[in-house]
Amino acid sequence: MSEATWSITTRSRKAAAFAEFFRVLRPGGRISLFEPINRFMERLRPDDLFGTGRTPVNALIAKVHDVYRGTTEDTARSMMDFDERDLVDWTMAAGFEAVELDYRAQVDVPADPIGDWETLKRVAPNPLVPTYGEAVAAALTDDERERLDKYMTALAAAGTPTRRTMATAFLRARRPHRNR
């Protein structure tokens, strides 16, 4: 499936989901959604996978990140092909009223240190992609994995803060008491 066809298909499915929300809610019913805007981070910090900024292992981290860009591109695309404006558009098109959207963007904000590298490797950045550990195993040689593990373990042990760049949208709306 071409990228354009994929995008149209996933976007129309999202629009259809809002229409279904509208259909199943009784008049006066409310919808409330909290959604990460993944496109924001990818645009601003495309290579900062762990919030570590510039490090001696950036080339290794870039290889790991390439796993997410390549083999998981189709599955991750559905989580990247929309933003907060689309949420509002789909809500309005479905027929909701009293639409409110609170948007929060954070750029390069101090965040908690990596608590435990071995634990982090068992986490996936979203449910449709491999864990960090699986991506590390797919991307790196044994020597490279050892070098990355050594660096990240030391970073975690030192309690070095990370940086976070992210955006979230909180959307609320109501089905009208009467159809217009």
| Per-residue pLDDT tens digits for 59-106 | 999 899 888 776 545 555 556 677 899 999 999 999 999 999 999 998
Six token digits for residue 15: 């629009």
DSSP state of 72: T
Whole-number pLDDT of residue 3 = 46
Number of domains in the chain: 1
Whole-number pLDDT of residue 141 = 97
3-state secondary structure of 36: strand
Taking Cα atoms as reference points, which of 61, 38, 69, 48 lies closest to residue 111?
48
- 84: in domain: yes
- 15: in domain: yes
Whole-number pLDDT of residue 43 = 65
- 179: in domain: no
Six token digits for residue 108: 């390069």
Whole-number pLDDT of residue 107 = 85
DSSP state of 101: E
- 75: in domain: yes
Whole-number pLDDT of residue 44 = 61
Whole-number pLDDT of residue 35 = 87
pTM above 0.85, yes or no: no
- Tally Cβ neighbours within 10 Å of residue 42: 16
- 180: in domain: no
The separation between the first and the last C-alpha atoms of the chain, rounded to the nearest angstrom, is 38
Amino acid code (one letter) for 161: P
Which parts of the chain have pLDDT scores under 50?
Answer: 1-8, 72
Q: Residue 52 belongs to what domain range?
A: 3-174
- 97: in domain: yes
- 28: in domain: yes
Tokens 């864990």, residue? 131
